[in-house]
Structures are given as structure tokens and as C-alpha cells.
Amino acid sequence: MTKQFYQFPKDFWWGSASSATQMEGGAHEGGKGENIWDRWYQEEPNRFFNGVGPENTSDFYHQYKEDIQLLKETGHNSFRPSISWSRLIPTGDGEVNQEAVTFYRDVFQTMRENGIEPFVNLYHFDMPMAMQDKGGWTSREVVEAYVRYAQICFEQFGDLVTKWFTHNEPVVTIEGQYLYGFHYPGELDFKKGVQAGFHSILAGAKAVQAFRAGGHKGEIGVILNLTPSYPRSQHPEDLKAAHIADLFFNRSFLDPFVKGEFPADFVELLREEGFMPEVLEGDLELIANNTVDLLGINYYQPRRIKAKENMPNLKAPFMPERFFDYFNEMHGRKINKYRGWEIYEKGIYDILVNVRENYGNIPCFISENGMGVEDEGRFVDENGQIQDDYRIDFYKNHLKWVHKALEEGTNVKGYHVWTFIDNWSWLNAYKNRYGLVSLDLENNFKRTIKKSGEWYRSVAEQGGFED
């Protein structure tokens, strides 16, 4: 079979993403305040896989200079960390922690010195505990505190950072905190979830407004996990169910952040069910006038949807699944057995086509794509390197579809994997490993580049790959 070389533009962004809580460690050092993960681990350590909490994670706080060298060695020309709100402003809205300013400035400066562009995210699931005590995203006061935090970041780091992102996966925050219980405080309260979602969007728009009003150079965007909702069939009820799932999990955030408006049928659904959020005068105009410059797209798996099989219990707590069921019986699906997630590479193409055709072909990039695997020590060769060919295949097969979308005219500017180094993953801790670089928890956090890390460097150097 003839091989093809998949060539990407010379200025394509090759990199990866992580987050402050997942990689920094030093949770109680350097003046950092408590966030919701610190509190949850303190209250219920049993919820965390193997009882491993956020205190140390992969220790970027102490080893960032060595880690940035590893970023360079694995071909990165860009990297997306997040700033810890509770490290920079320990109470969320009080004094700025100068130790944190020094730390982040040195991180971004060191990245630039190594030819790595900082793509900096302001919020990645890590609400300061003092802000959560005021209601978190359900509180208007927290929205204003977040905007102040964003302004401080722009002012303190704007000379080093020209790619900013307001949130990572804001819908997951709502799912985790107010629907499915995998983020603190783990409530089941759809009305709170809707209010928190609206305030997240409003906070993002206000941050965009502040960024532009401050005359800061560069671009500001948002990172959304876009998960295509595929209907089981073309039957009208399956199509309707998939459409509603798409409204809840994709368009509820995609439309306001990119178009400045909420889908009319989603608003109508919320109104009919009695879940409209509190919206103050001027809010919708502000959202309309402060859309993002750049869209990051996180993609891991599709969502398969079918019409409801049984009538829902109308007296039970309201959930999106009142309108659809998940369709898991599809024959021949590829599954990552460690996560139970479907591997469907074409999904990444379908998202990019949708963005091109329905969202003004906004400049975008794949901001996360990755494969978590348990017990990778099974794949270590005689030289101590993990031979993760499965991960290389995963990336190749997704990049082929990114390449196709690019050739067809989608304004896709880069590909970031999840993640650079095996990192702590919330309640799953270190159960699944995603990194281009392995982390040895038993041996002083030793880092070793995996086979996929070497492959990724070659892709970045060549601007593509052959397959």
C-alpha cells in the first residue's frame, strides 16, 4: 500500500495542554490559597483513586524548568497551562500573591526562551474555596471577582502572553458540580447548574470586554469540549433526541461564546421547564458584543443518542436525560477499554466541518485529544522507555481527519494533545496515563520520554507525518 505524507502548515501549533491543579503540586506552598479540590480531598479522600489528592501532582511548581526542556525535546512550539486563581489571589478577590506573579512570569519567560508560545487558560475547574463559599459560579459576586482576576492576569503577564482563554470546558464544571457529582460540591440541582452556566458565559464575555478595553495585544478565546451527538437512526424521534443532547452539551456554550447568542429552542426548552436563569439588564447585550477571537476544541469521544425508551419519572430531579437515552449497543465500535470511551476519529472532522459551516469558520485548533491507558509499565522496553504505539496510532488517525478538514478550508491552526506528562486527573488521580512523558511516582517523580513523545517531536520537526 502506498504511503501518504500528511503535511501541515509551517506555522501550525504543535503542543499539549494541562492545568494548574493537575500538574503544579505545591498545593500548600508559595502562598497559594485553598481551592475546591484541596477542600474535597480534605473532607473525603476516599473519593480519590488510591487516596491520591492534589497536593503534589506532577510537581511542575518545583520542576518547571526541567519540564519546559522536555516540552522542547518533544517538539512543542506551544503549550497550554492554566493559572491557578487561588495561587494568584488566595481568597479569590483579595490581595495578589507576589510569589505567584514571580512564579508564572518565570514560567512564561522560560517557555518563550525555549521557543514555546504560552497559551494561557484562566479557569480550569479550580474555583478558590473562598469563592465557592460565596456560591461559586451561581454567584454574581464571583463573576465580578473572576473579571478582576482576569484583568490582573492580563496586566501582570500580558507582555509575555498573547494567547488567552477564559475557560476550559465550562459545561463540565456544570455537569460535575450540579448534575453528576464528580466536582465539588457534587450537588444535584439543575436550576443552580443553569445559573452557574449563564454566569460562566457572562464572566467569559466580561473578561473578553476587559481584555479589549485594556488594549492588550493578542487574542482571547475559550476552550470547549465539543462532543458530536450522533442519532441512532434517521427516525424523527432519534434526530430530535440527538438535537436536544447537542443543545445541552455543545451549543449551550458554543453559540454564546462564538455567536453571542443562545439557541432559541434551548431557551424555549428552559422556559417551558421553569429553569430560566436570572439575567440582568445589559447581560445579553454584553454577551452579544464580546465574542471570542479563537476557539479551542477538546475532543475525546462521540455521544451516541436515541429516543427515550421509557417515560421519565416527572417527579424525579430534572436531568438532560429526560429527553434522550444513550445508544451503546452499536456493533463494531472501537473502545478504549481503560476509560470505556469510544474511539471515533471522524468525530474530530465532523466538529471542524460544523465550525466551518455554522460558526463563521472561526480560527480554531484542537486543544485536547488524547488516550488514557492503565498500567503502562507493561510496555516498558529494555531501555526503560514505554512503547506506546497505541497512542501514536490514536494521534495519527485523528490527525488524518484534521488534515482533511484543513484541506477543505477549515481555519484550524493547531493540534494540542492531552497531555505532556502523565498527570493527576481529578477523582481518577493517576489511574489512567495520558502523557508523552512518563511519570514514575515510585522514583522521585522521574520523567522519561515515551515512544509517542519521540514520534511527536518528529511530527513537529517535519510539519507532518507519513502513514
Query: Mind listing the pLDDT tens digit for each residue in 65-92?
Result: 999 999 999 999 999 999 999 999 999 9
HEC assignment per residue over 238-254: HHHHHHHHHHHHHHHHH
R_g of the chain, CA atoms, integer Å: 21
Which pTM does this prediction carry? 0.96
CATH number at residue 35: 3.20.20.80
3-state helix, strand, coil in the chain (%, to 5): 45, 15, 40
Count H helices and E strands in the chain, helices first. Answer: 16, 17
For the beta carbon of residue 53, count every other beta carbon within 10 angstroms.
Answer: 17
Percentage of the chain surpassing pLDDT 70? 100
Categorize the per-residue pLDDT at 335 as very low, low, confident or very high, splitting at 50, 70 and 90. Answer: confident
Domain count, the chain: 1
State which residues form the domain around 122.
5-466
Q: For residue range 294-321, what is the model confidence (pLDDT) as tens digits?
A: 999 999 999 999 999 999 999 999 999 9
The Cα–Cα gap between 17 and 27 comes to 20
Q: For residue range 398-413, what is the model confidence (pLDDT) as tens digits?
A: 999 999 999 999 999 9
The length of the chain is 467
Does residue 219 have an active-site annotation?
no
Categorize the per-residue pLDDT at 56 as very low, low, confident or very high, splitting at 50, 70 and 90. Answer: confident
What's the average model confidence in pLDDT over 430-456?
95
Per annotation, catalytic residue among 24, 175, 345, 368: 368
What's the average model confidence in pLDDT over 319-333?
90
Query: What mean pLDDT value characterizes the chain?
Result: 96
Is 280 a residue whose pLDDT tops 90? yes
